[in-house]
Amino acid sequence: MAGTEKLDVLQGTLDLLILQTLQWGPRHGHGIGQSIRAKSGDLLQVEHGSIYPALHRLRREGWIASDWKVSENNQRARYYRLTADGRKQLEREQNRWKLFVKTMARVMRPQE
Amino acid sequence: MRWITSWLRREREDDELAEELRSHLAIEARQRVEAGEDPAEAARAARRLFGSPAFIQETTRETWGWSKLEQLTDDLRFGLRMLRKTPAWTAVICATLALGIGWSTAIFSVAYGVLLAPLPYPRPSQLMALWPSAPKYGYPRFNVSAALWMHWKRRSRLFEGIALTRPIANFNLTGDGPPERLEGARTTADLPQVLSVTRGWRFSATVCGSAGSEATRPSSAVRSH
């Protein structure tokens, strides 16, 4: 790990990351965190202290739902999946994120 | 209604969250073992990775919205326990509070009656007390003479009426029937008019005529009071 730069998850983007991760099928909370880390090439580290509150908040909003299932290695775990509302929310957040990235890029561009 | 079910469900949610954390710990440990780590070392590493489960549960609970209320009841319970631990000190505090509150209440009721409560007459805010004073000669306040009273009444444009009264005192009423002890004050005959309480009160002004401030004696209507 030494020498590798770590990035903090930008405030407000954790919801998007979780919804994005869930669009390819149900996962348990730990799997979501691992998946985000793996996809980011180990650059993004989602703290456990923030992923659980986020999952509960998303569930309360009705964007994800959860069931208890037995995992691949025989461990009971709570699996989260995207709801129909969640899919719409994901699309909204994706658009917002694209706009954000575009806007940031425009602002940061060196003046000609 | 949603908050009722959410309140009833919160203990189950708590248990589920704890189980969720436990299961994730187990999954992480299992993955490490499968990757070739020593089981004890893997469990330790998983715990290190997750950090404090209590902290995670705490922050997650906060999203349920009950934590403020639960913290309040916790604080209350803690306060009561501390009070019970030091009964002497608690007694001193309670006594201080009780005395303080009692005294303020008592003093306020006196202050209200004497200073703040409106006088029991119509338009009490228009009533004023007048007295002559000669501070230069060392008399901040002295009695009104009959001449001064008549002068005031003639010349004053500020007041609808001016009546005189002496301090309230006890009187003996004798003559008609058994003698009686009355509480009253000697006043000019127009006092009821000035105070606008003329109903049932009537003094004859004839006694007043030459006597000025040496006013009058209540008629039988007053006696029955």
pLDDT of residue B224: 39
Q: Is A9 left (phi over 0), alpha (psi -120 to 50) or beta?
A: beta
Range B5-15 average pLDDT: 76
Range B116-141 average pLDDT: 86
User: Which residues in chain A are contacts of B63 at CB distance < 8 A?
Assistant: 53, 56-57, 60
Would you list the domain boundaries of chain A?
A: 14-108
Cβ pairs A/B, distance under 8 A: 59
For residues B215 and B169, membership in a common domain is answered with yes
pLDDT of residue A94: 94
ipTM of the complex: 0.73
Tell whether B20 lies on the interface with A, counting CB pairs under 8 A: yes
For residues B171 and B184, give the distance between their C-alpha atoms in angstroms, rounded to a whole number. Answer: 7
Tell whether B214 lies on the interface with A, counting CB pairs under 8 A: no
User: Has residue B197 been placed in a domain?
Assistant: yes
Quick one: how far is CA B194 from the chain centroid?
Answer: 34
Range A84-111 average pLDDT: 91
pLDDT of residue B2: 65
Per CATH, the architecture of A14-108 is what? Answer: Orthogonal Bundle (1.10)
- pLDDT higher for A10 or B200? A10
User: Which residues in chain B are contacts of A30 at CB distance < 8 A?
Assistant: 23-24, 27-28
- pLDDT higher for B176 or A20? A20
Backbone angles phi, psi at B77, to 5 degrees: -60, -40
Give the predicted TM-score (pTM) of the model.
0.51
User: Has residue B127 been placed in a domain?
Assistant: no
For residues B77 and B46, membership in a common domain is answered with yes
AA letter at B38: D
For residues B108 and B139, membership in a common domain is answered with no
User: Has residue B105 been placed in a domain?
Assistant: yes
For residues B76 and B111, membership in a common domain is answered with no
- pLDDT higher for A93 or A44? A93
User: Has residue B146 been placed in a domain?
Assistant: yes
For residues B52 and B102, membership in a common domain is answered with no
Mutate to test the interface with B, among A58, A75, A76, A80 (most CBs of B within 10 A): A75
Res. B201 pLDDT band, cuts 50 70 90: low
pLDDT at B221 over 80: no
User: Has residue B128 been placed in a domain?
Assistant: no
User: Has residue B122 been placed in a domain?
Assistant: no
User: Has residue B129 been placed in a domain?
Assistant: no
For residues B79 and B144, membership in a common domain is answered with no
For B172-223, the DSSP string reads EE-SSSS-EEEEE--B-TTHHHHTT--TT----STTHHHHTTS-----HHHH
pLDDT at B152 over 50: yes
Q: What is the CA radius of gyration of chain A?
A: 16
For residues B20 and B77, membership in a common domain is answered with yes
Which of A52, A71, A78 has the CB atom closest to B60's CB atom? A52
Q: Provide the domain limits for residue B216.
A: 135-223
Tell whether A56 lies on the interface with B, counting CB pairs under 8 A: yes
Highest mean pLDDT among A90-99, B57-66, B133-142, B174-183: A90-99
Name the pairing type of β-strands B180-184 and B169-173.
Answer: antiparallel
Mutate to test the interface with A, among B5, B25, B48, B63 (most CBs of A within 10 A): B63
pLDDT at B169 over 50: yes
User: Has residue B27 been placed in a domain?
Assistant: yes
Give B213's Cβ-side CA count (13 Å radius): 18
Tens-digit pLDDT profile for residues A20-79:
999 988 988 888 988 988 888 888 878 877 888 888 889 888 999 988 888 777 778 889
Count structural domains, chain B: 3
Three-class DSSP category at A65: strand
